[in-house]
Amino acid sequence: MAASSGGPAMGKASDAYLALMGRAPERIPHYEHLSNPAFEALVTGMDPYERPRSTRMRLLEVYPIDLGAWLPADDTPIPRLDYSSGAAVDADGHETVRWGAGASSHWDWGKSFGSIEEVLAYEPLKHLDLRDEERMPVVENRDYSLDDERFYEEYARDFPGTEVPADSVSMAVFYNTLFMWPLLTFGWELFLELAGAHHDELKRLLGDFAVINRKVFRTFARLPVNAVLCHDDICMASGPVCSPGWLREFIYPYYEEFWGVLHDAGKKVIFMCDGNIDKVADDVVACGADGLISEPFTDWKAIARKYPDKVVAGEGDNRVLTGGGRAEIEAMVRSMVETAQACGGYFMCVGNHIPWNVPAENVKVYFDLCAELAHRRPS
């Protein structure tokens, strides 16, 4: 799962806002990760490759996907890539596979570092202009050397106006809440070596990355948004990447600090993470998260019961959409609706994504069943 970096999320009035506030709207809203062009074509009768923005807008008229369904910037046609043989080769000679209407990227996180010695010698505060994504891919490739005012102006271009329209959701997104910085900068292997064997250097590096993020969160505190989605993949399908104790020592104190800045400015904090968050959910909420978005590996019913006023999203499973029939999809939707009865901030959400290879007809069944069934019972 990947949160989009920067820019405002699509928000619809009322149901999404009520859920953000934990106020249990009668209609259970959607937060969906959607990249299935065939489904969009099926529903709209339009070509998402020829008119990507118009097609998505029409889809949102048919199915009210409240959050997560990012609008393409315009109707610039998307090239149709040939994946008839299963893979393609990009301009750099890397094999790619299909992803949504486009192509997967090549795994090159950490390509600028060849040894742990290079990692230990790195000084993030001497490399604040990170716009060169080719040299240093870190997802959040911005110029962090700008002063606060100029940095704010750069972000504010994507958030016109001075305040959030009443009863709606406007959301800023940041992919590198903290854990992602060393992971993306150094790559998995070197990051794990750093995390396990070099704690003093790890503290220094995280402290420097935190300087960057203070600028980001000061900016978010000023933006005309009422929610900030903070992404960090601290978990995989089996649970936390590093132990809960490690996270409490090295990561969570920064979450408390950053999210305190947002809360002081009246913003809600939604935490997004891959995998199974059972072993980290309590700590993340204690740090100040107002909501949790993850994948169906998580015990969402337990979390919904424990945090009835938090945003909760990710219970839906694309494996059911892919391999199940209508009966299996309906059983999943009914189970999700049952979970929502315990949680005022619940969103219908296929937590492990709705990618291109999920049968379009099954995706439509899911949304049609949600339209019929995803309502709270009168109390």
What are the tokens at 165? 């329209």
Helices and strands, counts by H and E, the chain = 15, 12
Across the strands, what pairs with 272? 231, 293
- How far the first Cα of the chain sits from its last, in Å, is 35
285-331: per-residue pLDDT in tens?
Answer: 999 999 999 999 999 999 999 999 999 999 999 999 999 999 999 99
CA–CA–CA angle 329, 332, 335 (5° rounding):
150
Mean pLDDT over 212-234 rounds to 98
The CATH fold assigned to 15-373 is: TIM Barrel (3.20.20)
Predicted pLDDT at 379: 61
The pLDDT-based confidence of 64 (bands split at 50, 70, 90) is very high
337-347: per-residue pLDDT in tens?
Answer: 999 999 999 99
**What per-residue string of b and e applies to 138-166 under the rule 16 or more CB within 10 Å gives b?**
bbbbbebeeeeeebbeebeeebeeeebee
Distances (CA, A) of 129 to 124, 133, 185, 217, 365: 10, 10, 14, 18, 46
Across the strands, what pairs with 89? 95
**Cβ distance 229 to 174 under 8 Å?**
yes
Mean pLDDT over 8-13 rounds to 46
> Which alpha helices (H) appear in the chain, and where do they start and end?
15-20, 37-44, 52-62, 116-121, 148-156, 180-186, 188-197, 199-222, 244-250, 252-264, 281-287, 300-306, 318-323, 326-340, 360-373
Reply yes or no on whether the pLDDT at 7 is more than 70.
no
What span, in angstroms and rounded, lies between the C-alpha atoms of 333 and 68?
19
Spans of all domains in the chain: 15-373
Predicted pLDDT at 81: 82
What pTM was estimated for this model as a whole? 0.94
The pLDDT-based confidence of 108 (bands split at 50, 70, 90) is confident
